[in-house]
Copies of this chain bind each other. A is one copy, B any other.
Amino acid sequence: MRTSHFLVATLKETPADAEIISHRLMLRAGLIRKLSSGLYTWLPLGLKVLRKVETVVREEMNRAGAQEISMPMIQPAELWQESGRWEQYGPELLRIRDRHDRDFCLGPTHEEVVTDLVRNEISSYRHLPLNLYQIQTKVRDEIRPRFGVMRSREFLMKDAYSFHATADSLRETYNVMHAAYTAIFERLGLSFRAVLADTGSIGGSTSHEFHVLADSGEDSIAFSDGSDYAANVEMASAMPASTPRPAPSGTLEEIATPGVKTIADLCQQLGISPSATVKTLLVEGSEDGSLVALVLRGDHELNTIKAEKLEGVASPLVMADEDTVKALCGAGFGSLGPRNLGVKVIADHAAAHLADFSCGANRDGHHVINVNWERDLPLPEIADLREVVAGDPSPDGNGRLQIKRGIEVGHIFQLGTKYSEAMNAGVLDENGRQVTLHMGCYGIGVSRIVAAAIEQNHDEQGIVWPTAMAPFTLAIVPLNMHKSEAVARSAEALYQRCVDAGMEVLLDDRNERPGIKFADMELMGIPHRIVIGDRALADGELEYKGRRDTDAVRVPEGDAMAFLHEKMAAED
A137 to B33, CA, bound (A): 20
Q: Does A121 contact B (CB under 8 A)?
A: yes
Residue of B at shortest CB range from A142?
B99
Cβ–Cβ contact B76 & A113, under 8 A: no
Cβ–Cβ contact B121 & A72, under 8 A: no
Q: Does A390 contact B (CB under 8 A)?
A: no
Cβ–Cβ contact A7 & B154, under 8 A: no
Q: Does A120 contact B (CB under 8 A)?
A: yes
Cβ–Cβ contact B153 & A74, under 8 A: yes
A70 to B43, CA, bound (A): 7
Interface residue count for A (Cβ, 8 Å)? Answer: 48
Q: Does A288 contact B (CB under 8 A)?
A: no
Partner of A35, one of B33, B42, B71, B98: B71
A109: min CB distance to chain B, Å: 15
Cβ–Cβ contact A139 & B74, under 8 A: yes
- Given A7-B67, A96-B94, A117-B33, CB of A39 within 8 Å of CB of B130: no
Residue of B at shortest CB range from A121?
B9
- Given A73-B137, A137-B73, A141-B99, CB of A68 within 8 Å of CB of B39: no
Copies of this chain per assembly = 2
Q: Does A86 contact B (CB under 8 A)?
A: no
Partner of A121, one of B7, B69, B113: B7
Cβ–Cβ contact A120 & B33, under 8 A: yes
Q: Does A192 contact B (CB under 8 A)?
A: no
A362 to B127, CA, bound (A): 73
Q: Does A36 contact B (CB under 8 A)?
A: yes
- Given A9-B121, A35-B75, A36-B76, CB of A70 within 8 Å of CB of B50: yes
Cβ–Cβ contact B154 & A72, under 8 A: yes
Q: Does A538 contact B (CB under 8 A)?
A: no
- In the bound complex, residues from chain B placing their C-beta under 8 Å from that of A41 are 69-72, 113, 117
Q: Does A47 contact B (CB under 8 A)?
A: yes
Within 8 A of B (CB), among A19-56: 33, 35-36, 39-44, 47, 50
A292 to B176, CA, bound (A): 73
Cβ–Cβ contact B113 & A72, under 8 A: no
- In the bound complex, residues from chain B placing their C-beta under 8 Å from that of A6 are 67
A296: min CB distance to chain B, Å: 36
Within 8 A of B (CB), among A61-112: 65, 67-76, 91-92, 94, 96, 98-99, 104, 106
A99 to B96, CA, bound (A): 11
A495: min CB distance to chain B, Å: 17
A69 to B30, CA, bound (A): 12
Within 8 A of B (CB), among A117-175: 117, 120-121, 127, 130, 132, 137, 139, 141, 143, 153-154
Q: Does A356 contact B (CB under 8 A)?
A: no
- In the bound complex, residues from chain B placing their C-beta under 8 Å from that of A72 are 35-36, 39-41, 154
**Residue among A70, A139, A141 with the highest chain B CB neighbour number at 10 A:** A70
A155: min CB distance to chain B, Å: 10
A46 to B92, CA, bound (A): 31
A33: min CB distance to chain B, Å: 6
Cβ–Cβ contact B73 & A44, under 8 A: no
- In the bound complex, residues from chain B placing their C-beta under 8 Å from that of A68 are 44, 47
Cβ–Cβ contact B96 & A69, under 8 A: no
A549 to B153, CA, bound (A): 52
- Given A40-B72, A73-B154, CB of A33 within 8 Å of CB of B121: yes
Q: Does A459 contact B (CB under 8 A)?
A: no
Cβ–Cβ contact A130 & B35, under 8 A: no
- In the bound complex, residues from chain B placing their C-beta under 8 Å from that of A225 are none
Cβ–Cβ contact B42 & A7, under 8 A: no
Q: Does A116 contact B (CB under 8 A)?
A: yes
- In the bound complex, residues from chain B placing their C-beta under 8 Å from that of A43 are 69
**Residue among A39, A76, A154 with the highest chain B CB neighbour number at 10 A:** A39
A537 to B73, CA, bound (A): 49
Cβ–Cβ contact B65 & A5, under 8 A: yes
A50 to B135, CA, bound (A): 14
Residue of B at shortest CB range from A104?
B36
Residue of B at shortest CB range from A62?
B1
Instruction: Report A1-17 CB contacts with B as 1/0, cut-off 8 Å.
Output: 00001110100000000
Cβ–Cβ contact B47 & A70, under 8 A: yes
Instruction: Report A502-523 CB contacts with B as 1/0, cut-off 8 Å.
Output: 0000000000000000000000
A79: min CB distance to chain B, Å: 8
30 pairs, CB–CB < 8 Å, chain A vs chain B: A5-B67, A6-B67, A7-B121, A7-B127, A9-B121, A33-B120, A35-B71, A35-B72, A35-B75, A35-B76, A36-B72, A36-B75, A41-B72, A41-B117, A42-B70, A43-B69, A44-B67, A44-B68, A44-B132, A47-B68, A47-B69, A73-B73, A73-B137, A73-B139, A73-B154, A74-B154, A94-B98, A94-B99, A98-B153, A106-B106
Residues of A within 8 A of B (CB): 5-7, 9, 33, 35-36, 39-44, 47, 50, 65, 67-76, 91-92, 94, 96, 98-99, 104, 106, 113, 116-117, 120-121, 127, 130, 132, 137, 139, 141, 143, 153-154
4 tightest Cβ-Cβ pairs between the two chains A and B: A39-B72, A42-B70, A44-B67, A91-B99
Supplied contacts A5-B67, A41-B71, A98-B141, 4 more A-B pairs, CB within 8 Å: A35-B76, A39-B72, A40-B72, A98-B153
